[in-house]
Each structure stands twice: as structure tokens, then as C-alpha cells.
Amino acid sequence: MADRVLIFDTTMRDGEQTPGVALNAEEKLEIARALERMRVDVIEAGFAASSPGDFEAVQRIAREVRGSAIATLCRAVPEDIDIGWEAVKVAESPRLHVFISSSDIHIMHMLEKDREHVLEMARAMVARAAKYCPDVEFSPQDATRSDPEYIYRMLKEVIDAGATTVNIPDTVGYAIPEEFAAFIRSIQERVPNIHKARISVHCHNDLGLAVANSLAAVKAGARQVEVCVNGIGERGGNAALEEVVMALKTRRDYFGVDTGLDTTQIYRVSRLVSQLTGVPVQPNKAIVGANAFRHQSGIHQHGIVKLRETYEIIDPRDIGLPRGGIIVLNKNSGRHGLRARLRELGYDLAEEELDRVFRAFKELADKKGEIDDRDLEMLVMEERRASVEVYRLDLLQVSCGNQLVPTATVRLLGPEGQVLQTTATGTGPVDASYRAINALVGVPNRLLEYQVKSVTEGIDAQGEVTVRIDVDGHTFVGIGSDTDIVVASAKALMDALNRALTRVPREERAWSNP
């Protein structure tokens, strides 16, 4: 039987360190459930000691998610380990992940300590963690810029102290595949007790090599890979889960290892993470990008029609890709048909949620006629966003044209059901709508980014708008979809403002809205 490589997902910890991303406990739980369904081995649910919000999210995930081990990150200090254990101890399989920097540049300039002191902190804190938890992971941060001799010593010490996984982070994405593989091999040769621990790798993408480095490490003997869905994370991001997993599966002949993942969940989890984090997936992204299975050239199309394998090395069904184009439902479809299709896509909605999605489905089917899986997914996401709204967009009416001053009338329903309405002008219909919404909601903000893309093909396609706003130094993303892009734009701003209103506690606000 082939060796097993564990998949350790850190979307909710390292991935959440993506600028502008902030997930609340509900959203994290939803992602954790999706990762569990995909049979990820370990879910790093957060950094419990970093904030009460993170603690709550980690603890909820530890309590409610059963199929995967639940890890939390801890600095090598007693408080982090004690708080981390409080958060994960309710898990079926808890893990404490202790880290400390090992490179001289970090030790001298960040920790302001010396190597011996750091070595002792690592040993002592792993021992503390191991008293609580049988499953302890240790990471020497910035390992690839550290003195290898020091890393071998450190790993030996922490394994003796109880570490069961030793993770080698390429924290700043500095490694080159051959060199990284050689480092992993040298660890197996030079750390005498390495057979007592599993070797893991954690690669960042600053040079675009995170996936290549992770795969080279697997070939060299690493048996856990740390990844983020869609490759999100600090700076250039982390190794992308979908790329690592599908490379190992597609080239099993070369790597000779298996992951335990249900790869048919990949597409859905990618969409979910993109929707909840507001980080769009670039169209040419491997595996989950919109173009990953599209064939433009006539020669390629001809080949694909004859035999899919002529130009595709992955069967799109293996990642659960809904076949775009295939009409699944139309305006004559009933509630049962809708529910059945949503279940097939992995959305099990409560009755009231289903009622609302069904109403929205009928409205959309009236406009578009044919509804495919991507439309359904948009409707579910719209419903999810609506369920946490503070202000709700009730009416948007715009007039614009080359001889008209763009004017928008907006009516919102407020938190106590109050009806708020105003009219504003602007440089275009979106600008006018945004001015009207901002005047009503009263949360001062700066638009940092505005992106629009079409979710499905055709003139009647749904448009998806993503915005990023700055509110008092904090970035919030918002997403909206509709067949009308001005409406989608208004929904996106409302989503971002609602996130700001639900995530910044009243006492911490530098602004007061009506």
C-alpha cells in the first residue's frame, strides 16, 4: 500500500492572515464543516490565544467538527499553550501547534534572545504542550533561512520533549525545490530520533514555488503538507490545497503516495472560501480557476470532443466541477427539484432558507430561463449574506445615460425595521448608488477595490461584484451578485458595511451611525 500524506489545512489561520480577510465564528465553522466533509486530516482552526474571537471560533470548531483533528497555533510561551489547550481540549482529536523562530535574523532582531535561550524555550514549551495533549506539532519558524545544524539540534530536543510532528516552514518563500528536498532528506539523516515524528512542510509562495517546494519535500520523505484553499495567506500566500492534492493524485505514478481526501469536494470548498473571504480566484488558477477546464483553440476543442484526455490531465468530475452550460433547472422546476439539486451540490438548507432561495430562484428563472449550478450557488450565497444583514437593500432605482446626471434612489430597511430613503447623484450609476447608501448607513468608508465579473456565460449572466472598503483602518470585503451589475454593486457595498457593523463592537467604533 502507498504511503499516506496527511493534509493539514491552515486556511483559517495562515489563510486568514491574507490582508483584508476576517472571518467570524459562523463562517469559520462553515469552512471547517466543508473541510471535514472533504476529509482533511488536520484543520488549523485559528490562533486561540490571539483574541477572544479566535478562541471562540477554535473552541466551537473543536466541539462541533468530528472527522478531522483540530489544531491551534501557540507561540512558545506558557499562556498560549494553556489557552490553546482550553480551546481544543473538547475536540475528538486535538492538536497543539507550538512555534518559535529559529533563524538568526529572527532570533536577534525579533526575539532579541540567543540560540541557547530559544532552544530551551522550544523544548520547555513542547514539554508543556505534551503534558496536555498527545498530539503536538512543532515549527521552527523561518527554518529555511536557519543554520541547518541548529535545526537538527532543535528538532532532536523537541522530539525528545514530546513533539509528534515536526513542521519545516519556508516562512518567507525563500526555498528552491531541489534545495528544499535536500534539506528534508538531511533532517532524516541528521536528526537521530526523527523516526519518532512525522515530517511536515509549510511553504509560502513569495517566489511562486510553494506548491513545487511542498511536492519536492513529499518526494524527499515529508508526510504532512500544510496548505490553504485557493493558496491564500500572508503576502503571496501558502501552498494551494487543490494544487498539492491534485498533483499527488494525478502523478501518483511519480510520488507513490495517497492523501485521504475526497477530491470531489474541492471545487465547492474553493468557491465557499472565495465567497466568505472575498478573495477572488484568478481565472487562470490551476485546478479551480474559471479557465482551468476551458478550451479555446479549435485544435484543442477538436481533440477534447474526440477524447477528453487529449488535452485534459484531470477529469473535472474529480474535483466536483459542475458542468457549466448544462441546464439543471428552469422556471417550471419545483421546490423538491431545487432541494435535491442543492443537496447534490452539498447545500442542506433549513426549510425557511429553502423557501427564500426558492423565491429568488423563481425570480431569476423568470429573467434567465435556464439556471445552472453556478447560479444556484450564487443564490445560496446571497441568502447566507442576507441572513446576517443589519441594513437590507429594499429598493434601488437609477437613471443614467449620456445626457443624464446619474441619479440613484435607495431605500434601506434598518435594524429596527425603519425605512430609510434618499436620492444622490454621482459620476455614474454605481457612484450615485454608493453615495446614497453611504448617506443612509453613515459608516465613513473609503472604497479600496471594486471588481466585477460574470459568474455564468451569456448576456443574461449573473454578475458578481467584490468590493473592499476601509473603515477606520480596518478592511472589509463585500460581495453581491445579480443579473444587474448596478444592483450587484449596491449589494456588495451593503455586504461590506454590514460586515463592518457586525464585526466592530460599538465601544470600539470611531464612528457612530444612525
> Of these partners, Zn ion, ligand KIV, none, which one is at the site of residue 139 (CB under 5 to 8 Å by kind)?
ligand KIV
| Residues 6+ positions from 441 with CB-CB distance below 8 Å | 391, 412, 494, 497, 501, 513
We find the least distance from the C-beta atom of residue 77 to ligand KIV, in angstroms, to be 14
We find the least distance from the C-beta atom of residue 120 to ligand KIV, in angstroms, to be 19
> Of these partners, ligand KIV, Zn ion, none, which one is at the site of residue 141 (CB under 5 to 8 Å by kind)?
ligand KIV
> Of these partners, ligand KIV, Zn ion, none, which one is at the site of residue 342 (CB under 5 to 8 Å by kind)?
none
Residues of this chain, 57-96, that bind ligand KIV according to CB under 6 A: 73
Does 202 bind ligand KIV (CB under 6 A)? Our answer is yes
For Zn ion, the binding residue among 5, 6, 9, 14 (CB under 5 A) is 14
Phi, psi of 334 (to 5 degrees): -100, 180
Name which of 95 and 384 has its Cβ closer to Zn ion. Answer: 95
Task: Give the Å distances, CA to CA, from 67 to 42, 43, 176, 323, 432.
Answer: 9, 10, 34, 29, 49
What are the beta bridge partners of residue 481?
Answer: 464
We find the least distance from the C-beta atom of residue 237 to ligand KIV, in angstroms, to be 11
Phi, psi of 159 (to 5 degrees): -70, -40
Residues of this chain, 139-168, that bind ligand KIV according to CB under 6 A: 139, 141, 167
Q: How many CB atoms lie within 10 A of CB 25?
A: 17
Could you give the string, one character per residue 13-42, with x where binding to ligand KIV holds by CB under 6 A and - elsewhere? -x----------------------------
Name which of 144 and 445 has its Cβ closer to ligand KIV. Answer: 144
Residues of this chain, 385-404, that bind ligand KIV according to CB under 6 A: none
Name which of 14 and 27 has its Cβ closer to Zn ion. Answer: 14
Does 213 bind ligand KIV (CB under 6 A)? Our answer is no
We find the least distance from the C-beta atom of residue 32 to ligand KIV, in angstroms, to be 19
Does 169 bind ligand KIV (CB under 6 A)? Our answer is yes
Name which of 139 and 433 has its Cβ closer to ligand KIV. Answer: 139
Would you list the DSSP string of 415-475? TTS-EEEEEEE-SSHHHHHHHHHHHHH----EEEEEEEEESSSSTTPPEEEEEEEEETTEE
**Secondary-structure breakdown of the chain: helix, strand, coil percentages, each rounded to the nearest 5:** 45, 20, 35
Name which of 72 and 141 has its Cβ closer to ligand KIV. Answer: 141
Identify which of 205, 200, 266 has the alpha carbon closest to the alpha carbon of residue 238: 205
Query: Quick one: 413 exposed, middle or buried, by C-beta within 10 A (0-12, 13-18, 19+)?
Result: middle
By three-state DSSP, how is residue 490 classified?
Answer: helix
> Which residues are at the interface with ligand KIV (CB under 6 A)?
14, 73, 99, 139, 141, 167, 169, 171, 202, 204
> Which residues are at the interface with Zn ion (CB under 5 A)?
14
